[in-house]
Amino acid sequence: MRYKAVLFDLDGTLVDSIPDIAQGANLMLHDLGFAALSVEQISTFVGKGTHHLIDLCLKEVTQQASIDPTLQQQARRLFAHHYDHQTKHSISKVFPGVTEGLDRFQQAGCRLAVVTNKPMQFVPDLLRLMHLDHYFDLLVGGDTCAEKKPHPMPFLYACEKLGVSPADALVIGDSGNDSIAARQAGIDVLLVPYGYNEGKDVQDLDCDGIVFSIVEAAQWAAQPNTTH
């Protein structure tokens, strides 16, 4: 294995969490007196953190370019309440090939971390319910650092905490947030095409490879690379 550490995005990379996110968002909108949005549309709002998702939902239903701060705060409280409850009774699923891929990375001696823009309060419960928590040495949430992805800070923080150089780490994600942050951090990055990339095609993003499962990512990382 060419890498000492692997840093994983969570939503759209390891876990198909849109059912829970959409449920939380639509319950929030219902409480505020707005109509529900489609799961497909909400999926394009995922990537830059919960506050960004909520703001996009509110802009869509109000058809306003700016959001009333009082409405914004109320929406954030409601979403947190509903999503916290939803996470504890999750209908999300682990993507095919995730556990097998994590097993291969772990067996190869890699240190594993989750680096997500999801607020940390939701991360441990989701990983436990998905039976993935035992794989990870470190969890980095969207509020762990002063900046979120696509800023490189969360990936650099993870490398520091794991005691590895960015050159010895690999990022696996599903969006431009991951590829931009990884590139700026000097970390190799693989992307999966099945996740939530804000409605954009991962084929257009700067990365070291596109893989169709975490198993394929582990196979890619195990191949010799004379340039690494």
d(CA 193, CA 200): 10
For residue 173, give the amino acid letter. G
> By the 8 A CB rule, do 218 and 104 touch?
yes
Query: Is 174 marked as a binding-site residue?
Result: yes
C-alpha distances out from residue 193 to 12, 18, 114, 209, Å: 9, 15, 18, 11
d(CA 200, CA 49): 17
Whether omega for the bond prior to residue 150 falls within 30 degrees of 0, making it cis, is yes
**160 exposed, middle or buried (CB, 10 Å; 0-12, 13-18, 19+)?**
exposed
Query: Is 11 marked as a binding-site residue?
Result: yes
Query: Is 16 marked as a binding-site residue?
Result: no
User: Could you confirm whether 20 is annotated as catalytic?
Assistant: no
Active-site pick, 9, 16, 55, 208: 9
d(CA 132, CA 40): 26
**Which residues are identified as catalytic?**
9
* Residue ranges of the binding site: 9, 11, 174
* Residue ranges of the binding site for Mg(2+): 9, 11, 174
